[in-house]
């Protein structure tokens, strides 16, 4: 979430607004926008949208964790290697990739925030030193969107009275950059990515750890691998459903899409491991 949007969202019940849009219910939408006016909105609902900041890290970390770990497990299983090798490579991937993903998310967030803050500093300097020039740029942008010169001038002159708001608005309209929330802490997103990667990524490996040494009798089928497949696919599907619930999308479609992506990656990895085994005669 960005600082200059908080005030706008605090005037309505965001969750009810999302539900009313999904149901295309105009009356519910009116109630959502009037919620705070009539005292029907709980304080906690005003910052409900803040949780969305971590959705990307949670989903991205979890999906990458379970797919990459299972891909390694599938490749090793396809090459018919020992169970201990599967566990060793799976754990190694969990720790190495988990740390890499978490740090990558943290560093990319810091770099993006630094860039945005630097651009905002420049825009503020230009506003302080050449306000009329900045106002003219914004008027031209508004006119390009269909407003008359008179209306655009009136709007921009009013906005320019509130410098911080004006600069934040210029960031969005001119540069396509959302101002950084003062409370934004990049390390939290990195931590969410890391722990999400470890949590979901451990599913394929845990199956091998739990059933290590278990005798399933004389069979040509790798039962442990089949159990790992089932647990992984179920987890991927549930992860997709969670994504759908958080983003207010069709949960079954979201789960199915996630399941397809994960299944495709795992199938390719298993096939590659099998072909390498046959080709190298391992």
211-216 LR contacts (CB < 8 Å, sep 24+): 212/83, 212/84, 212/87
Would you put residue 39 in left (φ > 0), alpha (ψ -120 to 50) or beta? left
For 217-262, what is each residue's pLDDT tens digit?
A: 677 677 888 888 888 889 889 888 887 887 777 889 988 888 888 7
For 144-164, what is each residue's pLDDT tens digit?
A: 999 999 999 999 999 999 999
Question: Measured on CA atoms in the order 267, 271, 274, 280, is the torsion positive or negative?
Answer: negative
Lookup: tokens for 37: 């006016």
Question: Measured on CA atoms in the order 241, 243, 246, 247, is the torsion positive or negative?
Answer: negative
What average pLDDT is seen over the chain?
A: 80
48 close to 12: Cβ distance less than 8 angstroms: no
Give the separation between CA 143 and CA 8, rounded to whole angstroms: 24
What pTM, to 2 d.p., does this model score? 0.70
| CA dihedral of residues 272, 213, 205, 226 (deg, nearest 10) | 60
Question: Of 135, 155, 111, 116, which is closest to residue 2 (Cα–Cα)?
Answer: 116
For 54-80, what is each residue's pLDDT tens digit?
A: 777 888 888 888 888 888 887 777 777
């Amino acid at each position: 979430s960005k600082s200059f949007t908080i005030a706008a969202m605090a005037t309505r019940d965001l969750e009810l607004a999302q539900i009313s849009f999904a149901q295309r219910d105009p009356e519910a939408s009116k109630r959502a926008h009037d919620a705070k006016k009539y005292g029907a909105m709980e304080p906690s609902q005003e910052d409900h949208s803040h949780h969305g900041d971590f959705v990307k890290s949670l989903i991205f970390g979890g999906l990458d964790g379970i797919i990459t770990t299972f891909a390694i497990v599938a490749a090793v299983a396809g090459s018919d290697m020992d169970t201990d090798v599967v566990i060793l490579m799976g754990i190694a991937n969990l720790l190495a990739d988990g740390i890499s993903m978490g740090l990558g998310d943290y560093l990319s967030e810091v770099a993006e925030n630094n860039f945005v803050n630097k651009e905002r500093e420049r825009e503020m300097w230009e506003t302080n030193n050449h306000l009329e020039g900045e106002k003219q740029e914004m008027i031209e942008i508004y006119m390009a969107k269909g407003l008359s010169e008179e209306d655009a001038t009136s709007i921009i002159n009013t906005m320019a009275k509130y410098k911080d708001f004006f600069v934040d608005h210029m960031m969005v309209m001119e540069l396509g950059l959302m101002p950084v929330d003062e409370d934004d802490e990049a390390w939290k997103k990195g931590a969410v990515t890391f722990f999400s990667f470890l949590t979901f990524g451990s599913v394929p490996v845990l199956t091998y750890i739990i059933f290590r040494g278990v005798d399933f009798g004389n069979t040509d089928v790798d039962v442990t691998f089949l159990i790992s497949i089932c647990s992984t696919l179920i987890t991927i599907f549930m992860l997709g459903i969670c994504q759908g619930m958080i983003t207010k999308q069709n949960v079954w479609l979201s789960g199915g899409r996630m399941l397809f992506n994960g299944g495709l990656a795992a199938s390719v990895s298993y096939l590659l491991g099998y072909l390498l085994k046959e080709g190298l005669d391992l």
